[in-house]
Amino acid sequence: MAAAGQAALRLGWATASWHVSQAVRAWLTAHKRRGKREGGCRVGGCPWPIKSPWLNRMEPTWGPGTRAMAEPERKWYGDALQHRSCAYDDCERLDPMTP
């Protein structure tokens, strides 16, 4: 992006735990500082307001899937949730990324 003349990239996201985690916030801060110092493209997070799904264009995409996988009498965790999600989306289950 820096080669294309872009000075900054704004990422809009919800308050999901992986968006607001300390690891992600630390990476964003370090990347932003490095971009400012070295003249590259800076990346900044722009959180969506809480309880405003109409602002998120992706909500219609994953909202129905979430409702289809939810069961009021049961909570899904870990592998079971991943398998259920991949079955609904008819996609291949990949191994989690490691840092």
42 and 10 in a single domain? The answer is yes
25 and 63 in a single domain? The answer is no
pLDDT digit string (tens) for 51-83? 776 776 777 777 787 777 777 787 777 788 888
Q: Which of 12, 10, 19 is nearest to 42 (CA)?
A: 10
Residue 51 lies in a domain: no
How far apart, in whole angstroms, are the C-alpha atoms of residue 6 and residue 40? 8
Count of CB atoms within 10 A of residue 20's CB?
13
State mean pLDDT over 81-97: 81
Model confidence, pTM: 0.44
pLDDT at 98: 59
Identify the residue whose tokens are 């965790």: 77
Count of CB atoms within 10 A of residue 33's CB?
11
**Token digits for 66?**
């979430």
pLDDT digit string (tens) for 11-51? 777 777 777 788 888 888 888 888 788 877 778 777 777 77
12 and 42 in a single domain? The answer is yes
